[in-house]
Amino acid sequence: MDFSWTDEQLSFRKEVARFAREELQDDVIQRDREEIFFWDGWRQCGRFGIQGLPVPPEFGGSGGDALTTVCALEALGYGCRDNGLLFSINAHMWGSEIPLLSFGTENQKKRYLPKLASGEWLGVLALAESVTGVARQGFQTRAQRFSGGYVLNGSKTLVTQATDANLIIVFANLQSADGPTGTSAFLVEKGTPGLTVTGSLRKMGLRTSPMTELSLLDCELPLESLLGAEGQGEQILAASVEWERICGLASYAGTMQRLLETSSEYSRERKQFGRAIGKFAAIERKISDMEVRLESSRLLLYKAAWLKSQGKDSYREAAMAKLYLGEACVQSCLDAIQIHGGYGYMTEYQIERELRDAISARIYLGNLEVLA
Ligand SMILES: Cc1cc2nc3c(=O)[nH]c(=O)nc-3n(C[C@H](O)[C@H](O)[C@H](O)COP(=O)(O)OP(=O)(O)OC[C@H]3O[C@@H](n4cnc5c(N)ncnc54)[C@H](O)[C@@H]3O)c2cc1C
């Protein structure tokens, strides 16, 4: 297996890191406190081509394979400290673009993908429900087929960015004239009568990425709003989850690299008992653990992305990458806080926020306990 990057990938990676450093900096501490999304950053990313990474050129993107996408997202995570913005971008790409790319009709792709790829539109996926979580068999959101289309009733929770979404892919259990047809996915546009985005949910981390609940009350949709075939919800979700598990945590590798660099620098500069703290074995050990975790994360990430880029099955490797990266990033945040001592606990040093943000990766789209 060849793990070397091509020259194009290397220069793209550099260009993304430069873009993130120069264009995606603002007062993230305050936005985190006030739970405000970084719209300027979102638009800049759209212009740069981030949201269009997995979308083929005929639909307005650059058509990067999984490896190139991972390479770019890792660099983005290294240069940009707003994990909420990066999380929303990931939710948009894997939650709306990939399902459309994999299962959309030509008309659906032409209608939605160019706007999603440019960042003009924001797309999300609404799966979780308050009673059953993400267990599809028990979904209370129902779709009923009638001659002109479908009518949806139910509610969803924990939906990232639903307030701002122009397009929501809603999963519902479909009841046709012949009986239950299983979970199906529907394209619901903002402003559709019967769709209401309700109460925003306050969170521990990723606070710059808003989250809400939504309800569907006799929400009528045309026939062409069905994504894929009736009952194909599982396959649609599997396509989204596979990409999300491979690429969704790539930015965490960038974060881990940033944490490693700042912690190493701090351990060289900070003196206690007449020595740089980096000379103490306990601190040295934490720094080397952080480095090992980063390299292990990269290997898992690149292998899963490489398999996907080769058209091979990457389900197992993607799950392992997600499982490991989420844990590794949390542990490296804890080490970085410890190395910085009292300052590491302070908001101003921006490590406590990284920890709050990183913990979410142990939960969304595959709990730690379920993946293990
Ligand atoms: C930041 C964030 C963003 C999110 N964004 C979205 C979004 O955009 N759209 C959306 O639809 N959802 C979203 N979610 C919801 C997310 O997908 C679910 O929270 C997640 O899949 C876990 O499901 P649950 O909350 O129902 O937990 P549960 O499944 O109820 O899990 C509760 C506990 O039980 C354990 N458990 C469950 N099943 C098993 C098992 N079989 N074996 C062992 N242990 C088990 C879990 O590991 C966990 O510890 C988001 C969540 C977060 C945290």
Give tens-digit pLDDT for 157-206: 999 999 999 999 999 999 877 777 889 999 999 999 999 998 789 999 99
Same domain, 138 and 116: no
Q: How far is the CA of 368 from the centre of ligand 1 (A)?
A: 9
The Cα 140–Cα 137 span in angstroms is: 9
Same domain, 117 and 172: no
Is the pLDDT at 90 greater than 70? The verdict is yes
Q: How far is the CA of 319 from the centre of ligand 1 (A)?
A: 15
Q: What CATH number has the domain bearing residue 261?
A: 1.20.140.10
Assigned domain for 83 exists: yes
Q: What CATH number has the domain bearing residue 169?
A: 2.40.110.10
- Cβ atoms of 282 and 334 within 8 Å: the answer is no
Is the pLDDT at 372 greater than 60? The verdict is no
Is the pLDDT at 369 greater than 80? The verdict is no
Which of 231, 259, 279 marks a domain boundary? 231
Q: Which of 139, 202, 363, 365 to mutate to test the pocket of ligand 1 (most atoms within 8 A of CB)?
A: 363
List pLDDT tens digits, range 206-263: 999 999 999 999 999 999 999 999 999 999 999 999 999 999 999 999 999 999 999 9
Distance from chain centroid for Cα 291: 24
Q: Which residue has the higher pLDDT, 61 or 198?
A: 61
Is the pLDDT at 366 greater than 90? The verdict is no
For range 347-363, the mean pLDDT: 96
Domain range for 151: 124-231
| Residues 6 or more apart whose Cβ sits within 8 Å of residue 313 | 307
Same domain, 356 and 262: yes
What pLDDT does 298 receive? Answer: 97
Q: Is the CB of 360 under 6 A from ligand 1?
A: yes
Mean pLDDT computed over every residue of the chain: 94
What pLDDT does 365 receive? Answer: 63
What pLDDT does 180 receive? Answer: 79
Active site annotation includes 97:
no
Assigned domain for 242 exists: no
Assigned domain for 169 exists: yes
Same domain, 297 and 202: no
Rg over alpha carbons for the chain, rounded to the nearest Å, is 21
Assigned domain for 244 exists: no
CB neighbourhood size of 106 (10 A): 7
Same domain, 36 and 102: yes
**Which range among 14-18, 126-130, 131-135, 150-154 shows the weakest confidence by mean pLDDT?**
131-135
Above pLDDT 70, what percent of the chain?
A: 98
Q: How far is the CA of 360 from the centre of ligand 1 (A)?
A: 10
Same domain, 188 and 145: yes
Same domain, 147 and 225: yes
pTM for the whole thing?
A: 0.96
What pLDDT does 159 receive? Answer: 96
**Which 8-state DSSP code applies to residue 347?**
G
What pLDDT does 202 receive? Answer: 95
- Cβ atoms of 188 and 195 within 8 Å: the answer is yes
Assigned domain for 202 exists: yes
Q: Is the CB of 170 under 6 A from ligand 1?
A: no
Is the pLDDT at 1 greater than 80? The verdict is no
- Which residue reads 């952080």 in tokens? 290
DSSP letters, 218-282, are: EEEEEGGGEESSTT-HHHHHHHHHHHHHHHTTHHHHHHHHHHHHHHHHHHHH-EETTEEGGGSHH
Tokens of 20: 């993130």
Which of 74, 101, 122 marks a domain boundary? 122
Assigned domain for 301 exists: yes
What pLDDT does 137 receive? Answer: 77
What pLDDT does 56 receive? Answer: 98
How many distinct structural domains can be found in the chain? 3
Is the pLDDT at 370 greater than 70? The verdict is no
For range 54-77, the mean pLDDT: 97
List pLDDT tens digits, range 289-312: 999 999 999 999 999 999 999 999
- Which residue reads 């091509």 in tokens? 6
Which of 231, 259, 286 marks a domain boundary? 231
For range 78-97, the mean pLDDT: 98
- Locate the ligand 1 atom nearest the alpha carbon of residue 367 and give its number: 47
Is the pLDDT at 368 greater than 80? The verdict is no
Same domain, 302 and 315: yes
